[in-house]
Amino acid sequence: MSNTLQVTDLSVPGYERVVRGKDPSCGLHAIIAVHDTTLGPALGGLRMWPYASEDEALFDVKRLSRGMTFKSAVARTGLGGGKAVIIGDPKKIKSEALYLAMGRFVDSLGGKYITAEDVNTSVGDLEIIRRATKYVTGLEKKDGGSGNPSPYTAIGVFLGVKAAVGWKFGNDSLKGKVVAIQGVGAVGSALARRLVEAGATVHAADKNTERLAQLQKEIGLVPTGEAEIMTMKCDVFAPCALGAILTDTTIPKLNTPIVAGAANNLLLEPRHGKMLADRDILYAPDYVINAGGIINVSVEFNPGGYDEKVSLAKIERIPQALKELWTIAKEERIPPSDAADRLAERIVADARGAKKAGSCAVPPRGRSGGGG
Ligand code: NAD
């Protein structure tokens, strides 16, 4: 195996480590950002994207890795936050040699960063990376991994939607509630099935009209136009497609008392959390309600290995986490999205403080240490 990997430290303030990996023999140009490992090794997916420049890739990997710290902190996975990106067009640059080089790059951090699937990388790609490093998660269940995270994300979102309905209407029954889902892909379709089973009427929009028709036949979902899905009168709007859809233009047009869905980075800017709150729309912060997938992956790190029961028990705590945030938001008169960020920052700061205190601790009187 040729090894022409060059690793360069980019020294980015506020991040534990940000490194560039280049391997001219296979065209690898990647960045790994380890944002924070106070709570555990930094876990986050590997994204492949045709970024226009390294600066653009750096901006994205920094933003995403910080988001992973927050997400894992609030979900109490015992993991830190990190992310990796490979710069390039997936249709052109994917190769076995590239993934092996990426595996060596991940391995060079000695376990500080653990990789997983993300946009434009598959379990198959991870299998190749696994040949060069053990710091890989999300492999098939038959290979000892936790498998596809989407069904677990959907369970968490479903429980979160129920919690939001309970919070807003004083009763969490979904019978007769109208839910509008934007995007019925891996997560959205599993969510739709659960909602229909619970007695909700589900409307959905998707660019994939075949999938919509199939779901209409299977579960009685009501196909709805892409433009209507965000403005229709409903009890819950569940965005499960794209990020950055809650903006100055779209928020005034929402006709729902609740926004609770799976998509990441829903708010175009943090201030849009306040805009929702000002309209009395209850928001389930994205990285809290959609944490089922990362929770499932984190169970791979249990001493006994992956166990679905442990994963489901942890996912069932998502409603509790949301209620905690809505309570903070109410008491402190801040939007739930800000409450989530504050809670995440506090969890990390407390752990950092506890670690520091532990490392400076004076041995108790009478136990001088070193005696056994
Ligand atoms: P997916 O690609 O399987 O599904 C997305 C669906 O949205 C597709 O069916 C696509 O056709 C549809 N879509 C795209 N643009 C649309 C538009 N303008 N209007 C309506 N539909 C549109 O993705 P997924 O795995 O289901 O993830 C959905 C979202 O949840 C993403 O934002 C993802 O980042 C986030 N998320 C997913 C997971 C997971 O475990 N899969 C975990 C956390 C967050």
**Looking at the structure, do residues 183 and 271 belong to the same domain, yes or no?**
yes
In this structure, is residue 361 part of a structural domain? no
Instruction: Please give the structure tokens belonging to residue 279.
Output: 């309209």
**Looking at the structure, do residues 337 and 306 belong to the same domain, yes or no?**
yes
Instruction: Please give the structure tokens belonging to residue 329.
Output: 């938001």
pTM to 2 decimal places: 0.90
DSSP string, 269-334: STHHHHHHHHTT-EE--HHHHTTHHHHHHHGGGSTT---HHHHHHHHTTHHHHHHHHHHHHHHHT-
C-alpha pair distances (Å), 131 with each of 82, 104, 115, 358: 21, 9, 13, 37
pLDDT of residue 360: 67
**Looking at the structure, do residues 163 and 190 belong to the same domain, yes or no?**
yes
Q: What is the CATH number of the domain that holds 292?
A: 3.40.50.720
Residue 225: what are its φ and ψ, rounded to 5°? Answer: -70, 155
Measured in Å, residue 353 CA sits from the centre of ligand 1 at 37
Residue 93: what are its φ and ψ, rounded to 5°? Answer: -105, -10
Q: Is residue 297 lining ligand 1, measured as CB closer than 6 Å?
A: no
pLDDT of residue 216: 98
- Mean pLDDT for each 10-residue chunk of the chain (372 residues)? 86 97 97 98 95 96 94 95 97 96 98 93 93 93 87 97 98 98 96 98 97 98 97 98 94 98 93 98 98 94 90 97 96 97 95 85 42 30
End of a domain among 137, 161, 186? 137
Domain tally, the chain: 2
**Looking at the structure, do residues 56 and 182 belong to the same domain, yes or no?**
no
C-alpha pair distances (Å), 234 with each of 96, 174, 202, 229, 258: 47, 12, 10, 9, 9
pLDDT of residue 357: 86
In this structure, is residue 99 part of a structural domain? yes
In this structure, is residue 320 part of a structural domain? yes
pLDDT of residue 355: 86
DSSP 363: P
In this structure, is residue 144 part of a structural domain? no
**Looking at the structure, do residues 333 and 248 belong to the same domain, yes or no?**
yes
Contact criterion met (CB below 8 Å) for 28 and 98: yes
**Looking at the structure, do residues 212 and 235 belong to the same domain, yes or no?**
yes
Contact criterion met (CB below 8 Å) for 230 and 182: yes
Measured in Å, residue 226 CA sits from the centre of ligand 1 at 14
End of a domain among 137, 164, 183? 137
83 given a catalytic annotation: yes
**Looking at the structure, do residues 229 and 114 belong to the same domain, yes or no?**
no
Could you report the per-residue pLDDT of 100-151, keeping only the tens digit for each? 999 999 999 999 999 998 888 998 999 999 999 999 998 888 888 898 899 9
pLDDT of residue 77: 94
**Looking at the structure, do residues 60 and 166 belong to the same domain, yes or no?**
no
In this structure, is residue 370 part of a structural domain? no
pLDDT of residue 359: 75
End of a domain among 111, 137, 163? 137
**Looking at the structure, do residues 311 and 201 belong to the same domain, yes or no?**
yes
Probe target for ligand 1 pocket from 207, 229, 265, with the most ligand atoms within 8 Å of CB: 207
In this structure, is residue 368 part of a structural domain? no
Q: What is the CATH number of the domain that holds 30?
A: 3.40.50.10860
**Looking at the structure, do residues 231 and 105 belong to the same domain, yes or no?**
no
Probe target for ligand 1 pocket from 240, 245, 266, with the most ligand atoms within 8 Å of CB: 240
**Looking at the structure, do residues 205 and 266 belong to the same domain, yes or no?**
yes
Contact criterion met (CB below 8 Å) for 116 and 127: no
Q: Is residue 262 lining ligand 1, measured as CB closer than 6 Å?
A: yes
pLDDT of residue 365: 43
Domain that holds residue 220: 150-344
In this structure, is residue 174 part of a structural domain? yes
Could you report the per-residue pLDDT of 295-339, keeping only the tens digit for each? 999 999 888 889 999 999 999 999 999 999 999 999 999 999 999
**Looking at the structure, do residues 106 and 181 belong to the same domain, yes or no?**
no
Q: Is residue 188 lining ligand 1, measured as CB closer than 6 Å?
A: yes
In this structure, is residue 363 part of a structural domain? no
Measured in Å, residue 182 CA sits from the centre of ligand 1 at 9
